[in-house]
Amino acid sequence: MPLLKDPRAKVLNTLITGVDIVMNHHLQKTSFKKEAYKEYIKDYMKSAKGKLGEQGPERVKPFMTGAAEQIKHILANFKNSVLYR
């Protein structure tokens, strides 16, 4: 009778790794191109601005300023990014 391989070897061979939040929420990569992302984020920011304005108008300016800085960074590094939904 041949010796059996380590039973953990089968488990290790089927192990899938990745970013926890992506795997836990079954997120899929998007096929956004830079121009499509600009259009998407423009619409999103318009919606976010409206909702923040309803909840507390004083929150709009700091949010928009901070978000604009982050969006510039994302767009400048878009080719190095992977987006999920």
> Does residue 69 fall inside a structural domain?
yes
| Average pLDDT of the segment spanning 57-75 | 96
In this structure, are residues 27 and 84 in contact, taking their beta carbons and an 8 Å threshold? yes
Q: What is the pLDDT of residues 20-60, one digit of tens each?
A: 999 999 999 998 899 999 999 999 999 999 999 999 999 99
> Does residue 48 fall inside a structural domain?
yes
Domain, as residue range, for 75: 29-84
> Does residue 22 fall inside a structural domain?
no
> Does residue 7 fall inside a structural domain?
no
Buried b (16+ CB within 10 A) or exposed e, 53-76: eeeeeeebeeeeeeeeeebeebee
> Does residue 11 fall inside a structural domain?
no
> Does residue 66 fall inside a structural domain?
yes
Domain count for the chain: 1
In this structure, are residues 84 and 28 in contact, taking their beta carbons and an 8 Å threshold? yes
